[in-house]
Structure 1
């Protein structure tokens, strides 16, 4: 497999039966434990039957549980897993806090290494000459969209952020050639966002997708910046993926600033100076 086993799990998750998804989620949360388990142990922990575990392995294109454990062990040995943290009863603050940090650092390194520099360059080039830049996102991705709008506003680019489906629909319908949309999604499967992206493309805008590769959204946008993060959102809200999206936005913003030349530095200094009156005086950082 060219992709890591966890990537394969993400891709196949929606295609699995509900009982098989229980197995997949247990594997994502406890990969190191699964390597040492018998099939009866995994079935018991995931609260499914042993035949379900076998069906899960075959759905992942493997002959059986032993082959699955071998692939999982090989992936863990290479350090290529997305270390999905889990919180267990009785776990100390230090243990779960370190787990969250370690998981995030590992995932960000994976996202960094998989970003296509040519695609980043194309996205930056489109943003530099854009007449108007709109950021679309829902939920946690809506927060990322708002942060992105703030960054591009500081670069004196006409921009807006929309996390309401009606506003996104109206925005997309009024776009034209020379406008850019950045559509942000942790799953790439939000129906309203996919619809807005299609509308924006039809209107002539360039649509950049920050979303998983091979997702419905990635197939509708003009250009995809793949952010493939395996994250257990059944219990937790998106966390690591949100940080990956924020960093990717930072890369785009810095790229745009560099392309706009030295004059942008003076503009940013003027903005910072104007904010001085709003801060309490002191010797600390601004």
Structure 2
């Protein structure tokens, strides 16, 4: 983050992306900054007291985040907190009724979508679309919940005639990656960007000359260091839901956009294949 004011809607996302690299004390400073009531008049002493650190450490941490100092940090974060999307996020508590819970879960997902759209790099997005469109072979990697995202993406691709294979086993990932060649692609789905099985597979795919793509919630991670192209989602977590729930919605939507852009590149072919695949399963629907 530069010392010049950033677009307010991107500030929260960029700071959250730093969390895995921060110390517990630095993360506590961020926690205070994201609390309701943090604004342009919030004193340095208040932040230090709430985080349990010295005032000097707050200033030092603000500079580590890429701000000119505490005042710059306070100004930009308070501007982010004032955004309608930032105000959507509310923690779920035991006092919430079912209507409150539903509203909070939906609002957290809406916030993730809004802020993910704000941080997506359109040049990278275009490169991902071109690489997937042109690839003779497409391998998708993911473990656990991320494997479900990979399966959803593979299903969408097949609807328009793009064949791909999903791997959710560490050994199978490495085996598939070892057979990739230049022009092929490997796409990794990992919320944390730290799942070793996925990272190992992507390193092998890259070593073989394939174009490697990551879809992750963090721009700074071992997975990001192992790939050529990165599409980042962003989601604000809560003690109950964590970050994964909203990030999953954001990542699926990002890949929906990739799918739509690929279809638009060869619309006639995509439309014809969509008609054929839809007709093929139509008989399986009860009337």
User: What TM-score range do you get, normalising by the shorter chain?
Assistant: 0.7 to 0.9
Residues in 1 aligned to 2:142 and 2:150: alpha-carbon distance in whole angstroms:
6
| C-alpha distance 201-90 of structure 1, shift in aligned 2 (>3 A) | same
C-alpha displacement of 1:107: 2.3
- Structure 2 residue 231 is matched with structure 1 residue 225: yes
Residue matched to 2:179: 174
Q: How does 1:132-281 map to 2 (within 5 A)?
A: 132-211=137-216, 212-232=218-238, 236=242, 238-281=244-287
Deviation sequence 1:202-241 (CA, Å, 0-9, x none): 1011112222323332232122223233434786360111
Residues in 2 aligned to 1:172 and 1:264: alpha-carbon distance in whole angstroms:
27
C-alpha displacement of 1:72: 3.2
| SS in structure 1 at match of 2:150 | helix
Q: Normalising by structure 2, what TM-score?
A: 0.80
CA contact (8 A) 1:8 1:60 kept: no
Work out which of the residue numbers 59, 62, 65 in structure 1 matches 2:61.
59
C-alpha displacement of 1:154: 2.1
**Range that drifts further, 76-85 or 160-169:** 76-85
CA contact (8 A) 2:183 2:210 kept: yes
Residues in 2 aligned to 1:173 and 1:234: alpha-carbon distance in whole angstroms:
39
RMSD: 3.1
| C-alpha distance 179-278 of structure 1, shift in aligned 2 (>3 A) | same
RCO greater where, 1 or 2, for CA within 8 Å and sep 6 or more? Answer: 2
Q: Normalising by structure 1, what TM-score?
A: 0.81
Residue matched to 1:284: none
Work out which of the residue numbers 97, 103, 126 in structure 2 matches 1:98.
103
Residue matched to 2:123: 118
| SS in structure 2 at match of 1:201 | helix
CA contact (8 A) 1:19 1:52 kept: no
Q: Which runs of 5+ in 2 are unaligned?
A: none
Residue matched to 2:36: 32
| C-alpha distance 176-110 of structure 1, shift in aligned 2 (>3 A) | same
**Range that drifts further, 237-246 or 253-262:** 253-262
| C-alpha distance 177-249 of structure 1, shift in aligned 2 (>3 A) | same
Deviation sequence 1:148-179 (CA, Å, 0-9, x none): 11111222223111122221111111111121
| SS in structure 1 at match of 2:101 | helix
C-alpha displacement of 1:23: 5.0
